[in-house]
């Protein structure tokens, strides 16, 4: 019995099934572990999923219908990280409740910062965005890809850039459809 050979064949069969069913090729961990089960293990709400490659540390609460993409960091190790309902957190997003920059830059003479982070309901955090400690992102917000969010984001805001700045607003009509209104 060749364990390596058997495991390789099993993984190849799983990759083929996922490729045929969903037209995607995923890392081995994603083949072996169900993202909905991981979310349940973390105490996330109904209908939420957390990719196996997501690093989740400390006190993180995840609401209903939250999608946490691959290769994300949800750091609630130093303070609470709260994620509302109907939130999408894109691939590679890093949300931190601590910052040790001053500690290391001062040779250990200055302290680290630790502060809670809150993400509101019906919000989307774009791929590779970074959320700093102490930030509150409101409801119905769109945070663009590659943003550095270092200040609070009011309800209904669209933010982009490094550092993130408001470039528009999200408007929800009576029938529930969404419009983006851009600042000129």
Beta strands at 130-131 and 148-149: parallel, antiparallel or unpaired: parallel
Mark whether 5 is an active-site residue.
Answer: no
Beta strands at 87-89 and 67-68: parallel, antiparallel or unpaired: parallel
Question: Which is catalytic among the residues 98, 103, 140, 146?
Answer: 98
C-beta of residue 95 within 8 angstroms of C-beta of residue 78: no
The one-character DSSP state at 53 is: T
C-beta of residue 164 within 8 angstroms of C-beta of residue 151: yes
pLDDT tens-digit map of 17-72: 989 998 988 888 888 888 999 999 999 999 999 999 999 999 999 999 999 999 99
Q: Is pLDDT at 91 greater than 90 in this prediction?
A: yes
Residue 133 has a pLDDT of: 98
- Position of tokens 């750091």? 75
């Amino acid at each position: 019995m060749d364990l390596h050979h058997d495991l390789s064949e099993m993984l190849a069969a799983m990759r083929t099934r996922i490729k045929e069913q969903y037209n995607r090729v995923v890392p081995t961990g994603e083949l072996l572990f169900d993202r909905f089960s991981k979310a349940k293990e973390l105490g996330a709400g109904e209908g939420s999923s957390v990719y196996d490659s997501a690093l989740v540390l400390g006190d993180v609460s995840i609401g209903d219908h939250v999608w946490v993409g691959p290769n994300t960091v949800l750091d609630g190790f130093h303070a609470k990280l709260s994620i509302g309902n109907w939130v999408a957190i894109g691939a590679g997003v890093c949300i931190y409740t601590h910052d040790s920059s001053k500690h290391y830059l001062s040779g250990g003479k200055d302290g680290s910062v630790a502060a809670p982070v809150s993400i509101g309901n019906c919000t989307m955090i774009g791929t590779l965005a970074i959320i700093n400690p102490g930030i509150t992102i409101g409801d119905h917000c769109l945070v663009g890809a590659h943003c550095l969010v270092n200040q609070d984001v009011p309800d209904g805001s669209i933010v982009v850039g490094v550092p993130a700045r408001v470039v528009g607003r999200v408007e929800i009509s009576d029938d529930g459809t969404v419009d983006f209104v851009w600042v000129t």
